[in-house]
Amino acid sequence: MEASTEQAEAQPSAQEPVADAPAAASTPTYDESVLTFIKGRPRKPQQPDASERNTKVQVLQEEIDKHSARIREIKEIIDSKHSKAQPGGNNELRNKLTALRNEWQNHLVS
């Protein structure tokens, strides 16, 4: 009887996994819902339709051009405002302000 129990212990049971046995090929250890099995060589992807791509590019280019034109307009407005604010651009106004200030000082002194 002891011999039969030793043989049973020496042979692994079908229910116990064997640590050094290779994993069965039919039981993957990864999530099958995420992966796809490829048999043989993977197929080369098809090139996208050039006319469809060109129409999308053209629409986007027109939008870029429209925004670029608006940026140029805004820069011109800013530049025109900066040119008016440069020193010496408002000499008449400064001269008039200085004359009024001097006149006010004369009234205060007298």
Give the predicted TM-score (pTM) of the model. Answer: 0.38
Range from 6-10, 14-18, 27-31, 54-58 that averages highest in pLDDT? 54-58
Q: Is the pLDDT of residue 105 over 60?
A: yes
How does residue 15 score in pLDDT terms, banded at 50, 70 and 90? low
Concatenating the DSSP letter of every residue in 28-74 gives -SS-TTT-----SSPPPPPPPPHHHHHHHHHHHHHHHHHHHHHHHHH
107, 101 Cβ separation under 8 angstroms: no
Q: Which amino acid is at 14?
A: A
Taking CA atoms, 31 is separated from 25, 27, 28, 36, 38, in Å, by 15, 11, 8, 10, 15
Residues 59-77: what's their mean pLDDT?
96
Taking CA atoms, 43 is separated from 36, 38, 46, in Å, by 13, 10, 9
Q: Is the pLDDT of residue 20 over 80?
A: no
